Amino acid sequence: MERLERESDFLWHREERAATRAEVIAGAQGRDALICTILDRVDAELLDACGGLKVVANFGVGFNNIDVAAATARKIPVTNTPGVLTDATADITFALLLAVARRLGEGERLIRAQKWGGWEPLQLLGADVSGATLSIIGFGRIGQAVARRAEAFGMRVIYWNRSALDKSVVPVATAVSFEDVLRQSDFVSLHVAYNSETHHLLDERQFALMKPNAFVINTTRGPVINEAALVRALQTKQIAGAGLDVFEREPQLAPGLAELENVVLAPHLGSATIGTRTKMGMIAVDNLMAVCAALRPPNCVNPEVLG
């Protein structure tokens, strides 16, 4: 913010709530650059309504909120913030995995409701993490960081990735088919980017392939899972539980999800550390400033427009 204030004619949405679409358009009209969050839908209509944007800098690594094809057609570079949130997101993946396996949400609710009567031999018995099989769906930066954490927890790690990867990337992890990651795992963690190909990647059919003791962890984007189908799979105990940081229609949850005991829910906190969000902001500004200075932005997702 300080840098933008120093180096540009800068307007920002100061309220502790997401800007409405009308506010984004009004604020960005006639300006050179827009920094948007992952909540702002930047599409052809918005780009045309703003008129004259030279760059759209997303404050986030995922950019499914932006119609990149529409930006490319208008020769507008779109940038994102990769790399700096890898560890924070891998950490929250593990936080959810441990919390749901060891029933921390249920335990916390028990204590807060003042219903805990003391230690019992069979109280809230959870699933073993050490020795369990973790499947990672999408083995990019974040998936690999999760695999390294899993190794330290003594887990067996298998993964599925769209393209083949060199074994040396994370030697502890073995590539298997998509069906095998579902069939073999005790924990399935999602790390694919969200797009039309990964929409509802986990749906009724995939839950049916999973073991009844399997847990699903999602820290990527909500619509990678058919949330209504997940609720049914959890209600019928087709799978054992879920740890979710993202939801199909944030901030709304699918009916029935919040009532389930066997889920741990977080409000999209993957990158929410002071260090990570600060670095994301700095990168967004670096990207934006580079385009405005007619330089190559470090993280352009549609580099073809740069010429």
User: Which residues are near ligand DGY by CB under 6 A?
Assistant: 38, 60-62, 85, 270-271
State the Cα–Cα distance between residues 153 and 133, nearest whole angstrom.
Answer: 11
What are the φ and ψ backbone dihedral angles of 33, each rounded to 5 degrees?
Answer: -140, 150
| Active-site pick, 103, 221, 227, 248 | 221
Measured N-to-C along each axis, helices 86-101 and 274-292 cross at an angle, to the nearest 10 degrees, of: 150
- Shortest separation between residue 52's beta carbon and ligand DGY, angstroms: 26
Give the tokens for residue 90: 């891998």
- Shortest separation between residue 43's beta carbon and ligand DGY, angstroms: 18
- By beta-carbon proximity to ligand DGY, the closer residue of 64 and 184 is 64
State the Cα–Cα distance between residues 75 and 54, nearest whole angstrom.
Answer: 8
Q: Is 250 a catalytic residue?
A: yes
State the Cα–Cα distance between residues 277 and 100, nearest whole angstrom.
Answer: 26
- By beta-carbon proximity to ligand DGY, the closer residue of 88 and 158 is 88
Q: Is 103 a catalytic residue?
A: no
- By beta-carbon proximity to ligand DGY, the closer residue of 85 and 257 is 85
- By beta-carbon proximity to ligand DGY, the closer residue of 13 and 279 is 279
| Active-site pick, 13, 41, 199, 250 | 250
- Shortest separation between residue 193's beta carbon and ligand DGY, angstroms: 9
- Shortest separation between residue 220's beta carbon and ligand DGY, angstroms: 8
Q: Is 200 a catalytic residue?
A: no
Residues serving a catalytic function are: 221, 250, 268
